[in-house]
Amino acid sequence: MDISGATEGGRRPPAALFGGAFNPLHNGHIALAGEIERRLSLSEVIFLPTGQPPHKESPEVSCAERSHMVDLAIAGRPGWRTLDIECRLPGPSLTARTLESLSIAPPPFFVMGEDAFADFLEWGGPGIILARSHLVIVNRPGSASPGARRTLLSVLRDAGSSLGEVDIPDLRELRGKGVTEWVAALPAFKTTIRLLTIDTLEVSSTGLRAAIASGETARWAHLLPEAVKSYIVEKGLYRKPDSRSALPS
């Protein structure tokens, strides 16, 4: 269902930004980016590794190394690239500040999970984000967040949308009805918000790091792009000092 018809000017943005710690980037990230590239007919997919998360401890692996692993994973994919701007900006990584610094025209899609969107109004500068990007909220099996619909209602109200509460779905309802995409215009920001239901490989980054730390390569090697796996083994990333691992034969 497409409430907006199209973005301003009648065209979809050609690029999408994927933010995240990518700690490390895994096959689930790659599968998700590929599916969204296909669904939104993108010409450019841009990964934005988080430098210093504002509400979490900084990852043990540096932003530069995480950014490098993204580069390794997406090498050779036309239109896919990494921007390390959050690695270089001082202080906590704030999406609003990043979008202001990038100043991409036309505004790109900005992809986030439903769980992250539930807390969107607590992010610094949500109005800036809405004005400088078209939000894409992704629901994957088992990821439904009760707070996401409340946030969606608030965003639409603040954006001057004419849609009422009865018009607003939650992503669990979309999935149950077989609807894969829902879009609404944000008149005050001249952008859109889009809900997508996607079935892709589920990988827990926390569980993946724990598996790597165990030193048992067979537990995690299949979850990573080959180049990322080789880099992690070569550099000994995420492993306990006394763990040992080798590339599988």
Query: DSSP code of 61?
Result: S
Query: What integer pLDDT is reported at residue 1 of this predicted model?
Result: 43
Query: What integer pLDDT is reported at residue 201 of this predicted model?
Result: 77
Q: Are residues 133 and 226 in the same domain?
A: no
Select from 197, 225, 243 the last residue of a domain.
197
Q: Are residues 158 and 223 in the same domain?
A: no
Q: Are residues 147 and 217 in the same domain?
A: no
Q: Are residues 139 and 215 in the same domain?
A: no
Q: Are residues 112 and 228 in the same domain?
A: no
Task: Give the global pTM.
Answer: 0.89
Q: Are residues 224 and 112 in the same domain?
A: no
Query: What integer pLDDT is reported at residue 141 of this predicted model?
Result: 62
Three-state SS for 33? Answer: helix
Contact 25, 14 (CB under 8 A): no
Residue 191, domain member (yes or no) = yes
Query: DSSP code of 218?
Result: G
Q: Which domain holds residue 117?
A: 15-197
Residue 6, domain member (yes or no) = no
* Tokens read off for 118: 């539930």
Distances (CA, A) of 245 to 152, 178, 188, 189, 232: 45, 44, 54, 51, 10
Q: Are residues 58 and 139 in the same domain?
A: yes
Characterize the bridge pairing of strands 181-186 and 191-197.
Answer: antiparallel
Burial 134-149 (b: 16+ CB within 10 A, else e): bbbbbbbeeebbeebb
Contact 54, 93 (CB under 8 A): yes
For the sheet with 181-186, list strands across it: 80-82, 44-49, 15-20, 109-113, 134-139, 191-197, 181-186
Q: Are residues 193 and 213 in the same domain?
A: no
Query: What total number of domains does the chain contain?
Result: 2
Q: What is the CATH number of the domain that holds 130?
A: 3.40.50.620
Q: Are residues 155 and 218 in the same domain?
A: no
Q: Are residues 30 and 116 in the same domain?
A: yes
Distance between CA atoms of residues 215 and 168, nearest Å? 47
Distance between CA atoms of residues 156 and 153, nearest Å? 5
Residue 173, domain member (yes or no) = yes
Instruction: Average pLDDT across each block of 10 residues of the chain; the chain has 249 residues. List them in order.
Output: 46 91 96 95 96 81 97 97 94 93 93 92 94 92 74 95 85 73 95 91 90 90 96 92 48
Residue 46, domain member (yes or no) = yes
Contact 208, 239 (CB under 8 A): no
Q: Are residues 109 and 148 in the same domain?
A: yes
Q: Are residues 161 and 213 in the same domain?
A: no
Three-state SS for 10? Answer: coil
Residue 1, domain member (yes or no) = no
Neighbouring C-beta atoms of residue 130, cutoff 10 Å: 25
Query: Closest Cα partner for 77 from 38, 135, 24?
Result: 38
Provide the angle, in degrees to the nearest 10, between the axes of the packed helices 63-74 and 226-235.
150
